[in-house]
Structure 1
């Protein structure tokens, strides 16, 4: 007989083709072949973070991930990437089964281009009206991500989004809940509310299989929830999506970077689209400094508020097993 967790995850599992309806959030530089394959091999659903990769780099990353797992995994593409349609073509070439479109409203034709080769499309939506519109226009599933998450965030908390979206959408659509999830008890609650599954990033970022620098991981182990803070917007004319990261010198450097880009905008040296791309490139570089080089002072330590629940380096399989055990225990107590 299936467990209560399996029963509540059934729709999500069938959609993803994985043992558990647990997605790994796409974290630039972190969600690469090693972590993605480890998550899929442990029964979850790994997602490659394409971020600022070129089509050639994504091609190599998918190839390398396939060599490490025979289980399904997805690819996360940023909607403002200048070569989005070429990246979609790379996914097509490799027969990628699931593509996550993140970072904005999918440009015209992108959802259709992905569905044309039989892949499923997952999208993010900050409002219910936009969620309904995206689902009507062909998206197969939705991820709602609260402001507790790490990296780029929206303004509303996970618990509020879940109460707003799940009663309205969960019966007819697949909705995955993300942001601030660190234990199985929270997973149980969202599943009971109608979620098809959940997405976690921070819990997995410091896993044994993550290639993140040891100093990056140590910063996670030391941090409390309140140290994962959202970036401040300097100029209202420069709509920068806030980013949640551990407070350090890099946090202050970003404030200076925004002033610099705003000045270029004023001087007419860049337009709004280019200004936003400059900010995105800044994040990619700052994140790389922290994750790859271990510069935890000046780099960007993107982390969700669940970082307070990350206290040691564990194999992905152990993290997955404890999340499922906690979820099942919570459901059995009901």
Structure 2
């Protein structure tokens, strides 16, 4: 057994996979094809439920089950108005791992997931929140830095890892995410006490990913500095920043925020409706880019590790490369 397998043992034990390498849940990208390919190759695929209705999630899980020979998880967003119905769909399919993203889980949601026998994995943006989640009974945590693609927090991965791993890595398995593109970084976080990692951007250009060829081309061409965070233009409208490749869609979002902020001022919408409208805007813009290939006007959500994505290759090749790099790094350090 390699040193990497030893250090990942708690993560692989929790997930039931060969490697504690989770695929980040990317709306429109983390669907049946990519998720099953990652799980079948020894990683752990996670369906991005995003804004799906319970009916759509039901169909997606069934389709993934038909392709996957290994287990996989489902990512649910805590602000989804039908969260508890989605939890029921996961239970019906006996999904073993539910990942909750975006804010503190609503009252009763952790209990509802655990009642089905599933493990709960939650995102923790700060040490205080991480401790609270551990007390409330989550089975594992993901700590994701601002280098990641899509919705991001304000703190970098390396700082979160230093703040959270020494305090909590003994208590629950912790997966580190955000800006990871090579195995040497995986080795470093494992040595710091992580039980595994989560990568999203690195898997977008997998052969098995259904992302449009033009979307993949944009990733392959991009450098780290091209993946920029969106700007918040109005302090009264707290919008979680999103990291994506710069294009006309980035400008359009700034205009959209201005329009929604003006309607909030005029009393035409309340805060919850305004924030939901922003979320729906993102989902639509992302779909236009990923599915339709509108790389100019759509949203090219990408993490800063995009500069390390240089070609299209199979999921099995990506995972094998990461594992080999991590193993060699750990061996070199003795």
Question: What's the TM-score, normalizing by structure 1?
Answer: 0.99
* Corresponding residue of 1:52: 51
* Corresponding residue of 2:118: 119
Aligned counterparts of 2:268 and 2:143: Cα–Cα separation in 1: 36
Aligned counterparts of 1:35 and 1:79: Cα–Cα separation in 2: 23
Aligned counterparts of 2:263 and 2:41: Cα–Cα separation in 1: 47
* Corresponding residue of 2:142: 143
* Corresponding residue of 2:27: 28
Q: Does 1:201 align with 2:187?
A: no
Aligned counterparts of 1:43 and 1:23: Cα–Cα separation in 2: 10
* 1:188-207 CA-partner distances (Å, limit 9, x unpaired): 00000000100000000111
Aligned counterparts of 2:40 and 2:252: Cα–Cα separation in 1: 38
Q: What is the RMSD of the two structures over their aligned residues, measured on CA atoms?
A: 0.5
* Corresponding residue of 2:167: 168
Q: 1:103 offset after TM fit, Å? A: 1.3
* 1:263-313 CA-partner distances (Å, limit 9, x unpaired): 111111211111111010000000000000000000000000000000100
* 1:40-75 CA-partner distances (Å, limit 9, x unpaired): 000000000000000000000000000001211000
Aligned counterparts of 1:256 and 1:241: Cα–Cα separation in 2: 16
The 5-angstrom pairing of residues 184-263 of structure 1 reads 184-263=183-262
* Corresponding residue of 2:2: 3
Question: Relative to structure 2, which stretch is displaced further, 262-271 or 17-26?
Answer: 262-271
Aligned counterparts of 1:269 and 1:91: Cα–Cα separation in 2: 37
Say which SS state the counterpart of residue 8 (structure 2) adopts: helix
Aligned counterparts of 1:70 and 1:59: Cα–Cα separation in 2: 18
* Corresponding residue of 1:132: 131
Moved over 3 A (4+): none
Unaligned runs of 5+ in 2: none
Aligned counterparts of 2:268 and 2:25: Cα–Cα separation in 1: 32
Say which SS state the counterpart of residue 194 (structure 2) adopts: coil
Unaligned runs of 5+ in 1: none
Aligned counterparts of 2:279 and 2:179: Cα–Cα separation in 1: 23
Aligned counterparts of 2:108 and 2:260: Cα–Cα separation in 1: 30
Aligned counterparts of 1:237 and 1:107: Cα–Cα separation in 2: 24
Aligned counterparts of 2:106 and 2:171: Cα–Cα separation in 1: 25
Q: 1:120 offset after TM fit, Å? A: 0.6
The 5-angstrom pairing of residues 99-110 of structure 1 reads 99-110=98-109
Aligned counterparts of 1:266 and 1:146: Cα–Cα separation in 2: 32
Aligned counterparts of 1:36 and 1:173: Cα–Cα separation in 2: 24
Q: Does 1:69 align with 2:68?
A: yes
The 5-angstrom pairing of residues 265-280 of structure 1 reads 265-280=264-279
Aligned counterparts of 2:78 and 2:267: Cα–Cα separation in 1: 25
Aligned counterparts of 2:95 and 2:233: Cα–Cα separation in 1: 39
Say which SS state the counterpart of residue 253 (structure 1) adopts: helix
Aligned counterparts of 1:307 and 1:101: Cα–Cα separation in 2: 25
Q: 1:10 offset after TM fit, Å? A: 0.4
Aligned counterparts of 1:227 and 1:321: Cα–Cα separation in 2: 27
* Corresponding residue of 1:85: 84
Say which SS state the counterpart of residue 301 (structure 1) adopts: coil
Say which SS state the counterpart of residue 199 (structure 1) adopts: strand
Say which SS state the counterpart of residue 302 (structure 1) adopts: coil
* Corresponding residue of 2:331: 332
Question: What's the TM-score, normalizing by structure 2?
Answer: 0.99
Question: Relative to structure 2, which stretch is displaced further, 287-296 or 260-269?
Answer: 260-269
Aligned counterparts of 1:129 and 1:43: Cα–Cα separation in 2: 33
Say which SS state the counterpart of residue 229 (structure 1) adopts: strand
